[in-house]
Structure 1
Amino acid sequence: MAETETDYAAVFQALPGMVALLTPDLIYADANDEFLRQSGRTREQVVGRYLFDVFPDNPSDSGATGMRNLAASLARVVESGERDAMALQRYDVESAERPGEWEERYWSPVNAPLLGPDGSVVLLIHKVEEVTELIRARARPLGDRARVLEAELYTRARELQEVNERLRRAHAREREVALALQRAMLPAPGPVRHHRAAVRYRPATGALNVCGDWYDLVDMAGEDRIGVAVGDVVGHGLPAACAMGQLRSALSAASLVAGGPAEALDALGLYADSVEGAENTTVVQTCIDWTDHTITYSSAGHLPPALLRADGTVTFLDRATDPPLGARPDRVARPQASVGFDAGDTLVLYTDGLIERRVEDIDTGLARLADALTRHRRSDAEELADALLLDLLPLSGATDDTALVIIDL
């Protein structure tokens, strides 16, 4: 028997439950037949219109919270890319037959993301269970007691929403503090001798996604050499930011006295054992020497730096990669490698937020970076930094922090 292609549009319309599709701007992209039937709206009244123009709060109910609660849930899905199940909601709906009259309705919504190829949220799946009749049926045989229980249930649902809102505000405050701490520890670098450098730091868009990304540039006094590093502490929020600050300072000091990047990372690994939250941190340390035109590097599980040649070819520095800090039980000297460079080349160090995307192989992200570097090879460090962020970060915002350092060689 010949295989037939599934008509998913027909499946969507035939779903027995209420389901609508919303854009991240909360415009209805589609709604299935059951959603239109239960809500008492036609397709023309819904599709292409803003959610809260179609279903506003009851203007005569000063305590109505349905619109605010639903907006907060959908915003969480857009920011986190994760499913959000709401508590039972009372959300009155204006009668389609009698405009100006509002019907008391109870809903149980679940909101989920539909992700695009780059991991960003492209649509919101808004699934709703209409439970008004269930509540009314339970209330009829019990009379006054049922009405008391119904009111208590509604009150508890509102209290839960208030608790969620307080938690959201607390998380937002934590994020602000972590960002302030991170910015204080990652200032814009001053001149590194006569060499041009550009740095960028972009926090993730999610309220809880402040991470432990860092960068560092060190002038090797007395010689025409500089040390450049980027790193990423596992975790989020204040603990990650605090661990990041300690590791950055330790590596900066170690790079000044160590015999090379590998030795500096060995010392950092020993120090990391005493820093809470430092395990599995990734970091790459490089030393650029303009006297003999070499870049010496060593990586503790970090993504490889990219060397952009003047002719547009890109080489990833991946010949000295070892496990992250604390990931190896035995103390073994870390590897180190060197590569030559010419005037006009460019060195690029970065963290995973620049290239990694959900459900995508890391090689795809590296290839995307190499292509962008080649296309913008005639840009100076500052121009190249802006171009890479514009080309590579999702328009809806990255789900992970991004640190970026570019050195004109």
Structure 2
Amino acid sequence: MAEAPIDYAAVYRALPGMVALLTPDLVYADVNEAFVSGTGRPREAVVGRFLFDVFPENPNDPEAVGARQLRASLRRVLSTGERDTMAVQRYDVENPERSGKWEERYWSPVNTPVLDPDGHVVLIVHRVEEVTELIRVRGGAGDGRGRMLEAELYARARELQELNNRLRQAHAREREVALALQEAMLPARRQVGHHRAAVRYRPAVGALNVCGDWYDLVDLVGGNRIGVSVGDVVGHGLAAAGVMGQLRSALTAASRVADGPAQALNVVGRYAHVVDGAESATAVTTFIDFDRHTITYSSAGHPPPVLLHHDGRVEFLDRATDPPLDARPDPAPRPEAATGFEPGATLVLYTDGLIERRREDIDTGLLRLAEALRRHRTQDPETLADTVLLELLPPGGATDDTALVVVRL
């Protein structure tokens, strides 16, 4: 006997806790019965309205910060796509039956994103639990102690929030320094010889997510050849940016003297063993020979480059894939493969921030990239790079760094 389908709308309405659904514009999409009961506002007075129009800050309290803290939490959810649990907040509410009469209230909010298949935030589940009565201990001789407890708990909540703000500011400063260091170590946008190439770097959203993504383009010795590489260092902040600079410089030097990309990665792999923080770092490098119309490539645990042929055919260069740079205690020769191209083709290298999404198979991201490249194959490299980033990255930014290189062959 088939099980009866669950009516999730009915479940939502019957939830014992106060739950609201917010759009990315912070407009109420729906509220459950507990929310209506707890706030004293009918559903029609809430749904379709901007959150802070329904619940503005108390104008009589110059130190009120509840709305500001809630807005910051919701923005973090929108930018990171991750749940944000807030400390206990004092957020006064106007009595719905007595205009201008504000009631002192305390809340414990949790904001959780609802994501679409592409990783975009389409709704925010805003759950609030009123804890006013837990903070206010009422009655007789205990009333004074209750007010003292209320003041103490509120002060502790404010202290925790202030500490959290200071930590975020410190991380923001570290992010700023790391980004400056990372950009200083990455090559500027330029043409390699007379060949057209576009490069892009997009840092992750959020103060804690500066990573070690990098790219490089280098003229190779002998013939009409260039080397194009991208890589990714595991970790965040200044440490990751520093490791990124060391590995990129090592691969640049190795590429100039190596017989091919596999040998260059062999050298960098041995070097990675003595670099703290290089564990699990990945890289892929390609040697492009414009006279012979060939691309020779090798990958150390990195997503495959994409060769977009002039006729729209998409080829993933995935026949020479090996573990990350520092994966083997005793480095062994890495594989190498080659493929041909016709003039007018396009080579695209990237880091995983461009294609990976939570709870999504990586093949879905690769297919999305291939389709975008095929649709826009007539665009010049600079325009194509911007188009790919616009179509593939979430509107609020990705939670991982993204490096992208587009070379017209």
Give TM-score scaled by structure 1 length.
0.96
Using the TM superposition, give the Cα deviation of residue 3 of structure 1 relative to its aligned residue in structure 2, in angstroms. Answer: 3.3
Q: Within 5 Å, which residues of 2 pair with 1:252-271?
A: 252-271=252-271
- DSSP 3-state at the match of 1:143: helix
Give the C-alpha shift of residue 308 in structure 1: 0.8
| Aligned residue in 1 for 2:13 | 13
> 1:335 matched to which residue of 2?
335
Q: Residues of 1 paired with 2:135 and 2:284: CA distance?
A: 60
CA displacement at 1:59 relative to structure 2: 0.8
Q: Is the 8 Å Cα contact of residues 190 and 197 (structure 2) preserved in structure 1?
A: no
Distance 1:147 1:341 in 2: 77
* 2:73 pairs with 1:73: yes
Paired with 1:348 and 1:386, the residues of 2 have a C-alpha distance of: 13
**Is the partner of 2:297 in helix, strand or coil?**
strand
- 1:344-355 matched pairs, under 5 angstroms: 344-355=344-355
Q: 1:239 is matched by which residue type in structure 2?
A: A
Q: CA deviation at 1:140?
A: 5.1
Alpha-carbon distance, 1:222 to partner: 4.4
Contact kept in structure 2, 1:139 and 1:150, CA below 8 Å: no
**Residue 120 of structure 1 aligns with which residue?**
120
Distance in 2 (alpha carbons) for counterparts of 1:200 and 1:375 = 20
Consecutive unaligned residues in structure 2, runs of 5 or more: none
Q: Offset at 1:73?
A: 1.9
Correspondence 1:167 to 2:167: yes
Partner of 2:129: 129
For 1:320 and 1:138, locate their aligned partners in 2 and report how far apart those are by CA, in whole Å. 72
Q: What residue identity is the alignment partner of 1:191?
A: Q
Whole-angstrom CA distance in 1 between matches of 2:73 and 2:291: 57
SS of match in other structure, 2:235: strand
Deviations 1:289-333 (A, max 9, x none): 112111111100001111111110011111111000111222210
Q: Structure 1, residues 90-125: CA drift from partner, whole Å, max 9, x if none?
A: 211000110000011121111212121112222111
Which residue number corresponds to residue 181 of structure 1? 181
The answer for the alignment partner of 1:367 in structure 2 is 367
Contact 1:93 1:103 survives alignment (8 Å): yes
CA distance in 2 between partners of 1:117 and 1:166 (Å): 35
Q: Bigger CA drift: 2-11 or 277-286?
A: 2-11
- What amino acid does structure 1 have at the position aligned with 2:370? A
Which SS does the other structure have where 1:334 is aligned?
A: coil
Asked if 1 retains the 8 angstrom alpha-carbon contact of 2:137 and 2:147, the reply is no
Q: Which amino acid aligns with 2:169?
A: R
> What is residue 239 of structure 1 aligned with on the other side?
239
Q: Secondary structure at the match of 1:235?
A: coil
SS at the partner of 2:195? coil
The answer to whether structure 1 residue 88 and structure 2 residue 88 are counterparts is yes
Which residue number corresponds to residue 144 of structure 1? 144
- The 8 Å contact of residues 346 and 407 in structure 2, kept in 1 or not, is answered as yes
> TM (normalized to structure 2)?
0.96
Moved over 6 A (4+): none
Q: Please report the RMSD computed on the Cα atoms of aligned residues, expressed in angstroms.
A: 1.5
Q: Structure 1: where are the runs of 5+ without partners?
A: none
Q: Deviation of residue 206 (structure 1)?
A: 2.1
Residues paired across the two proteins, number: 409
User: What is the CA–CA distance in structure 2 between the aligned matches of 1:214 and 1:269, rounded to whole Å?
Assistant: 16
Q: Quick one: distance in 2 between partners of 1:263 and 1:212?
A: 23
Q: Distance in 2 between matches of 1:383 and 1:190?
A: 15
Give deviations 1:253-307, integer Å, cap 9, x for gaps: 1100111111110110111122221111110011001121111111000011111
Task: State whether structure 2 residue 39 is matched by structure 1 residue 45.
Answer: no
Structure 1 residue 76, shift from structure 2 partner? 2.2
Cα distance between partner residues in 1 of 2:72 and 2:390: 28
Q: Does 1:320 align with 2:307?
A: no
Residues 278, 139 of structure 1: alpha-carbon distance in 2 compared, 3 angstrom cutoff: farther
Identity %: 71
Question: For the residues of structure 2 that align with 1:83 and 1:210, how far apart are their CA atoms?
Answer: 19
Alpha carbons 1:198, 1:405 under 8 Å: kept: yes
